[in-house]
Amino acid sequence: MSAAPEPRPSNFLRDIIAEDVKSNKHGGRVQTRFPPEPNGYLHIGHAKAICLDFGLADEFGGHTNLRFDDTNPEKEDVEYVESIKNDVNWLGFKWDGLYYASDYFGQLYEWAVKLLKDGKAYVDDSSAEEIRKNRGTLTEPGKDSPYRNRSVEENLNLFERMRAGEFPDGSRVLRAKIDMASPNLNMRDPVMYRILHAEHHRTGNKWCIYPMYDFAHGQSDSLEKITHSMCSLEFADHQPLYNWFIEQLGIFPSRQIEFDRLSLTYTMMSKRKLRQLVEEGRVSGWDDPRMPTLSGMRRRGYTPEAIRNFVTAAGVSRTNGIVELAMLEHFVREDLNKRSLRVMAVLHPLKVVIDNYPENQVEEMDAVNNPEDASAGTRKVPFSRVLYIEQDDFREDPPKGYFRLSPGREVRLRYGYFITAKSVVKNDDGDVVEIHCTYDPATRGGNAPDGRKVKSTIHWVSAAHAVDAEVRIYETLFSKENPDDVEEGGNFTENLNPLSLEVIASAKLEPSLAGAAAGNRYQFERLGYFCVDPDSVNQDSKPGKPVFNRTVALKDTWAKVEKKQGGKTQ
RNA sequence: UGGGCCGUCGACUAAUGGUAGGUCAAGUGCCUUUGGAGCACUUUGUCUAGGUUCGAAUCCUAGCGGCCCAGCCA
């Protein structure tokens, strides 16, 4: 945490909470909750909710619970609850209470009985189809169910038998008796309980009826004395129902406040569709580095700080917009720039032989680890007669404005020497496979005593000392800004970007990278930020061939200039 | 002639009814042993029409446009 308080742009959520604290509502107490359903992994969209729920409570000295909204046993699993806990912690938050909606099944049942006794609920024998028909439409009112006016005794008896398992799935539901003509569809006698003979990941087979979201969420908030229950905009239509149950039950009045979801260009935020990608094997798993999941981003090399800064900068409101992926990448670079050790790595090697450099000589050159952080110190990088440079850093026929190596041109090898290209060796296809150069011994370390300038500094790795590595380069998983933008009847998978993963099988790394631990982050100079993938460790838990993920590329002005020139220089 | 929510630079986001600000992007310049980064500067915006008000992005009305809602999902 920095000493100076960060200027926080206010937002309507903070204003509401500040107002409540000021007016001493709930004694000035602030209690929030983050309520994911454990039916998938958390993604960057959840990060916004997490930052809001935890961040806002923290600002006002309040508390935040992590509550699993596990009311649908058919979709939920412990694998997901574990991943969610892990991801929330990784993002940097600690919950005060850890709860499950399933903790409240008993209480919820009692409350349902109370509503039954009060004549505020009834058991409906209609089929799902009939209920749907009688619900009416957006413009026409619904019709009362023929079972709507059963006696309290009959309702109580039927509901008890529903719980006892006497009826098959789908045969009956418990409904709230509100108003079939309400303009708000959620108020047209919403279903409170459905019969589901399914094993729940926590309550096992204890229950065969499960409460719907609407009959569980507000009461769960109430039980936990949540003061500010923040959720996304699509629940705004549910707020009257949220309040209705709380009022009928006469319980603690939690307040629901809606805000807009985070949408990102080129990013799929639907948990259902992300699961589909995993299940169909279109990605390697929930933690595939191309996934927008927190576990995917973690593996990709994103930092929690970068994600938090991004979410804060993107802000919160009630407008429905979409944030550019470039903005996320900006915050990732900003954070990584400060903390990453610089190293040299060649992704597409081109052999360079320095003809006038002694055959068996090796020099240890001093290299700065992080120009942004003097305390990171320096390291030694071996220099020898045969090196690798990037194929992109040499052009036999340089286009206008190209500053790097070309025949007769002198460049600086970073922390090495000035070299001048003299001749090339080509293979049968005419490709340049080797460059012969000379070096100036007076320029050791990259300094020219005579003050002469070179236009370019390029990175390199000594061939004899290079560590071979696999490097995985990622592009967006989808090729369209909106992955759901498909023709009628189309499928979002059509928008999958076929080029989202490029594997470079044999990149050359400077020797300091040998045995780097999984998760370590580096900047490969001039290329981007990379981190060590867990795949670097082989089956026997021994270090194998290093595997690096490219987290994000460096901004590349040259590429931009080149593009602007319309490729005519190519 | 259903209800709810929302319209601010290219994008995103701010402004107790009182100077339309910030970030991203873009551009210009400086600097540079990463053509990175950094630093400085610059450009463009309140959907439309009325109304209330000394004063409206903000409040009201209408229009236009967008999003959400007809799961026994959350």
pLDDT one-digit tens code per residue, A36-48: 999 999 999 999 9
Return the pLDDT at A488.
Answer: 76
Decide: CB of A152 under 7 A of nucleic strand B: no
Return the pLDDT at A10.
Answer: 76
- Mind listing the pLDDT tens digit for each residue in A146-196? 999 999 999 999 999 999 999 999 999 999 999 999 999 999 999 999 999
Residues of A labelled catalytic: 37, 261, 271
Phi, psi of A402 (to 5 degrees): -85, 120
Angstrom distance (rounded) from CA A507 to CA A523: 15
Burial of A243 (0-12, 13-18, 19+ CB in 10 A): middle
Angstrom distance (rounded) from CA A560 to CA A321: 27
ipTM, 2 decimals? 0.93
The CA–C1' separation of A437 and B33, in angstroms, is 19
pLDDT band with cut points at 50, 70 and 90 for residue A486: confident
Does A9 score more than 70 pLDDT? no
Does A76 score more than 80 pLDDT? yes
Report the pLDDT averaged over residues A5-23: 77
The DSSP code sequence of A397-424 is: SPPTT--SB-BT-EEEETTS-EEEEEEE
Which nucleotide's C1' is closest to A323 (Cα)?
A: B12
Angstrom distance (rounded) from CA A29 to CA A23: 11
Angstrom distance (rounded) from CA A259 to CA A182: 24
The CA–C1' separation of A426 and B9, in angstroms, is 53
In this predicted model, which residue has the larger pLDDT, A455 or A217?
A: A217
Q: Please, are residues A530 and A524 in contact by the beta-carbon 8 Å criterion?
A: yes
Angstrom distance (rounded) from CA A530 to CA A371: 17
Angstrom distance (rounded) from CA A353 to CA A192: 76
Return the pLDDT at A7.
Answer: 42
pLDDT band with cut points at 50, 70 and 90 for residue A544: confident
Does A569 score more than 50 pLDDT? no
Report the pLDDT averaged over residues A381-386: 97
Angstrom distance (rounded) from CA A419 to CA A328: 39
Between helix A12-22 and helix A44-59 the angle, nearest 10°, is: 20
Which residue, chain included where needed, has tokens 């900068």? A313
Angstrom distance (rounded) from CA A448 to CA A442: 7
Q: Which residues 428-457 in chain A have a CB closer than 7 A to strand B?
A: 445-447, 456-457
Cα distances (Å, whole numbers) of residue A65 to A47, A49, A82, A216: 15, 13, 16, 16
Query: Which of A223-232, A399-408, A427-436 is the least confident region?
Result: A399-408
Angstrom distance (rounded) from CA A318 to CA A325: 20
Q: Please, what is the average pLDDT of chain A?
A: 93
Q: Which residues 263-302 in chain A have a CB closer than 7 A to strand B?
A: none
Which residue, chain included where needed, has tokens 């030694």? A380
Cα distances (Å, whole numbers) of residue A523 to A69, A136, A448, A472, A530: 40, 60, 26, 14, 6
Alpha-carbon dihedral angle through residues A17, A18, A22, A26, given to the nearest 10 degrees: 20
Return the pLDDT at A565.
Answer: 58
In 3D space, the residue among A177, A200, A196 whose CA is nearest the CA of residue A103 turns out to be A200
Q: Which residues 340-399 in chain A have a CB closer than 7 A to strand B?
A: 342, 371-372
Decide: CB of A8 under 7 A of nucleic strand B: no
In 3D space, the residue among A315, A274, A321 whose CA is nearest the CA of residue A293 turns out to be A274
Q: Please, are residues A189 and A145 in contact by the beta-carbon 8 Å criterion?
A: yes
Return the pLDDT at A285.
Answer: 98
Query: Which of A44-48, A109-113, A128-132, A370-374 is the least confident region?
Result: A370-374
Does A2 score more than 60 pLDDT? no
Return the pLDDT at A321.
Answer: 83
Query: Which of A143-157, A218-232, A438-452, A551-565 is the least confident region?
Result: A551-565
Return the pLDDT at A539.
Answer: 63
Return the pLDDT at A5.
Answer: 33
Taking C1' of B70 and every protein CA, the nearest residue is A137
Decide: CB of A326 under 7 A of nucleic strand B: yes
In this predicted model, which residue has the larger pLDDT, A334 or A105?
A: A105
Write out the H or E segment, with its range, that includes residue A509.
strand A501-509
Q: What is the SS3 string spanning A264-302? A: ECCCCCCHHHHHHHHHCCCCCCCCCCCCCEHHHHHHHCC
DSSP-derived 3-state class of residue A48: helix
Decide: CB of A7 under 7 A of nucleic strand B: no
Percent of chain A with pLDDT over 90: 85
Which nucleotide's C1' is closest to A317 (Cα)?
A: B13
Which nucleotides of strand B come closer than 7 angstroms to any CB of the protein? 1-8, 10-16, 21-27, 33-38, 66-74
pLDDT band with cut points at 50, 70 and 90 for residue A66: very high
Alpha-carbon dihedral angle through residues A338, A413, A398, A472, given to the nearest 10 degrees: -50
pLDDT band with cut points at 50, 70 and 90 for residue A562: low
pLDDT band with cut points at 50, 70 and 90 for residue A564: low
Does A570 score more than 50 pLDDT? no
- Mind listing the pLDDT tens digit for each residue in A276-308? 999 999 999 999 999 999 999 999 999 999 999
In 3D space, the residue among A354, A87, A64 whose CA is nearest the CA of residue A221 turns out to be A64
Return the pLDDT at A319.
Answer: 87
- Mind listing the pLDDT tens digit for each residue in A50-64? 999 999 999 999 999
Decide: CB of A551 under 7 A of nucleic strand B: no
Longest dimension (CA), chain A: 102
Pairing of strands A432-439, A418-426: antiparallel
DSSP-derived 3-state class of residue A501: strand
Query: Which of A178-182, A205-209, A231-235, A537-541 is the least confident region?
Result: A537-541
Number of continuous H segments (helices) and E segments (strands) in chain A: 13, 25
**DSSP state at residue A430:** S
Which nucleotide's C1' is closest to A211 (Cα)?
A: B72
Q: Please, are residues A437 and A422 in contact by the beta-carbon 8 Å criterion?
A: yes
Decide: CB of A426 under 7 A of nucleic strand B: no
In 3D space, the residue among A218, A140, A246, A126 whose CA is nearest the CA of residue A175 turns out to be A126
Per the structure block, which two tokens stand in for A409? 């041109």
pLDDT band with cut points at 50, 70 and 90 for residue A373: confident
Q: E-strand spans in A375-499?
A: 378-383, 386-390, 410-413, 418-426, 432-439, 457-458, 460-462, 467-474
In 3D space, the residue among A280, A388, A340, A395 whose CA is nearest the CA of residue A550 turns out to be A340
CA atoms within 13 A on the CB side of A28: 5
Q: Please, are residues A111 and A166 in contact by the beta-carbon 8 Å criterion?
A: no
